[in-house]
């Protein structure tokens, strides 16, 4: 994922389309010294937002979802100008947000309701125990550039639903769509509990220093810096970081389906997707057939920004350079490029879809996150070898397994060290709003949206213990006579051992 920039920015900047160089718009950067004031305003507004309750907030979120749908063309047009995406890639973002918002509108009241807990021991049955989910006042969201609409709001929607105010720091590479999304929030009649802080590193640091929870999406290296700074104030964080997602193709897989999935999973959004397919392990008996099918599909792809193209440009020269470095390293070490392999001479930050074979783990394209349009394919002798190689990575975001035997694929899936596994599909776990989305190892900490946990992550748990009756109240206060102590020790020993003795039988 993208790292937070260290570049110092002027007061205003012109943002250009990375595919054409044309002006996409201008942005006014936030003075880091203003962030405490912005956060203070959000913190004050949040009180009334929380007081609306889940039902009241759900109505506001529903209106905003309608606004997103009504303004989808406007959002996607600006998205293409700002990122150089193809129209088909840009078309994925708003629907995902509407789907997440729709899910929470229907479920947030139940998810955030006080939760009754049973008494742990019989003598405590005189108490009513409830867990309340109280929103953290200000959630800081530091979003990346690869999906500037979806990655900004998929987290913000959950935080707003939970009753928090949100301070959003978009990537300095893609700040324009965030301005439009904020306008839509206010135009739909929502209160001022969503605000922007535009800028680079210093603004990110100010957001971390003034928020009560941080949701960060970006590189693993920058995620560690975010966590380190947040630790100064013991601010909790949720980190969705880099990935090097493996795909395993077993000998009984539907090869055409697996090839289609690999091509789309690798080159969707020009490979600039945290859960893109970055390496493929194919059983040797079907390897040649799979490679042929992949090359056939790739040769049909059209590269360019806007309508009529399959995938667009990379965000900037930095991403082009990383992709080229990984490809050049692989070729120098004996790999072959069956498609692409060299940057075109045309203008724009384009790199062609590149299928690499004869690859191994000595090559950067198999071990480092590329975040570009490459698809390295490695032949393996056994399922065990495929699993071992898939797990041979510091990353653990998601993975894919292809086999006609679903039970067998499940067995492989649970041996992979990652946060999600798709069977006979890729990336589809992102659509599963009922399940968490998060990574293992250096791919992250915590999880993003998904079920009740996607709301509760933004809350503090408050336990309220109330009496059912006044009987027994105060019976143990400072009663330290020898008789009372003996009676208490006998009772507690018996009660504490009831469950272990039963379970041990």
Active site residues: 240, 274
358 token code pair = 């004869």
Q: Are 416 and 440 in contact (CB under 8 A)?
A: no
DSSP tag of 299: T
Adjacent-strand bridge partners of 23: 16
Please state the φ and ψ torsions of residue 40, each to the nearest 5 degrees. -65, -40
Among 167, 152, 108, 193, CA closest to 459: 108
Q: Tell me how far apart the alpha carbons of residues 344 and 269 are, in angstroms, rounded to a whole number.
A: 18
Quickly tell me which residue has 């609306």 as its tokens: 52
Q: What's CA 334's distance to the chain center, in Å?
A: 35
Which bin fits 266, alpha (ψ -120 to 50), beta or left (φ > 0)? Answer: alpha
Among 346, 344, 301, 303, CA closest to 324: 344
Rg, Å, the chain Cα set? 26
Q: Tell me how far apart the alpha carbons of residues 32 and 265 are, in angstroms, rounded to a whole number.
A: 38
Among 261, 138, 147, CA closest to 195: 138
Q: What is the 3-state secondary structure (H, E, C) of 83-149?
A: HCCEHHHHCCHHHHHHHHHHHHHHHHHHHHCCEEECCCCHHHCCEEEEEEEEECCEEEEECCCCCCC
Q: Are 79 and 90 in contact (CB under 8 A)?
A: yes
Count of CB atoms within 10 A of residue 286's CB? 19
Q: Is 317 exposed, middle or buried (0-12, 13-18, 19+ CB in 10 A)?
A: exposed
406 token code pair = 């679903």
503 token code pair = 């379970």
Among 314, 327, 332, CA closest to 365: 327
């Amino acid at each position: 994922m993208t790292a937070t920039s260290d570049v110092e920015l002027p007061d205003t900047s012109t943002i250009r389309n990375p595919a054409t160089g044309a002006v996409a718009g201008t942005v006014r950067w936030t003075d880091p010294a203003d962030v405490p004031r912005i956060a203070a305003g959000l913190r004050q507004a949040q009180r009334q937002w929380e007081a609306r309750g889940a039902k009241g907030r759900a109505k506001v979120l529903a209106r905003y979802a309608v606004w997103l749908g009504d303004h989808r063309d406007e959002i996607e047009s600006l998205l293409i100008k700002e990122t150089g995406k193809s129209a088909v890639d840009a078309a994925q973002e708003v629907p995902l947000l509407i789907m997440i918002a729709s899910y929470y509108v229907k479920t947030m009241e139940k998810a955030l309701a006080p939760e009754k807990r049973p008494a742990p021991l019989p003598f405590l049955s005189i108490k009513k125990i409830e867990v309340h989910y109280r929103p953290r006042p200000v959630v800081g969201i530091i979003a990346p550039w690869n999906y500037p609409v979806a990655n900004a709001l998929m987290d913000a929607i959950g935080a707003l639903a939970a009753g928090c105010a949100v301070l959003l720091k978009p990537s300095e590479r893609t700040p324009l769509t965030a301005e439009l999304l904020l306008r839509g929030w206010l135009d739909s009649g929502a209160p001022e509990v969503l605000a922007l802080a535009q800028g680079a590193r210093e603004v990110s640091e100010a957001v971390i220093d003034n928020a009560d929870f941080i949701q960060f999406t970006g590189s693993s290296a920058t995620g560690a810096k975010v966590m380190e700074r947040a630790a100064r104030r013991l601010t909790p964080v949720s980190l969705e970081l880099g990935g090097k997602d493996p795909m395993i193709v077993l000998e009984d897989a539907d090869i055409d389906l697996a090839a289609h999935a690999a091509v789309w999973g690798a080159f969707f959004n020009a490979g600039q997707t945290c859960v893109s397919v970055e390496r493929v392990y194919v059983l040797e008996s079907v390897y040649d057939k799979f490679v042929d099918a992949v090359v056939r599909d790739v040769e049909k792809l059209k590269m360019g920004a806007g309508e009529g193209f399959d995938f667009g440009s990379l965000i900037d020269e930095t991403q082009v350079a990383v992709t080229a470095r990984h490809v050049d390293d692989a070729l120098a070490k004996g790999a072959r490029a069956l498609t692409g392999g060299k940057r075109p001479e045309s203008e724009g930050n384009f790199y062609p879809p590149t299928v690499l074979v004869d690859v191994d783990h000595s090559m950067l394209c198999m071990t480092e996150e590329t975040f570009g349009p490459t698809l390295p394919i490695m032949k393996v002798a056994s399922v065990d070898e495929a699993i071992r190689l898939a797990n041979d990575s510091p990353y653990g975001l998601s993975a894919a397994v292809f086999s006609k035997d679903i039970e067998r694929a499940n067995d492989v899936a649970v041996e992979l060290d990652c946060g999600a596994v798709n069977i006979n599909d890729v990336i589809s776990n992102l659509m599963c709003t009922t399940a968490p989305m998060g990574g293992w190892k250096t791919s992250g900490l915590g999880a993003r949206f998904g079920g009740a946990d996607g709301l509760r992550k933004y809350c503090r748990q408050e336990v309220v213990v109330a009496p059912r009756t006044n009987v027994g109240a105060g019976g143990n206060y400072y009663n330290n006579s020898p008789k009372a102590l003996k009676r208490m020790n006998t009772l507690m020993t018996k009660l504490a051992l009831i469950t272990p003795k039963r379970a041990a039988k």
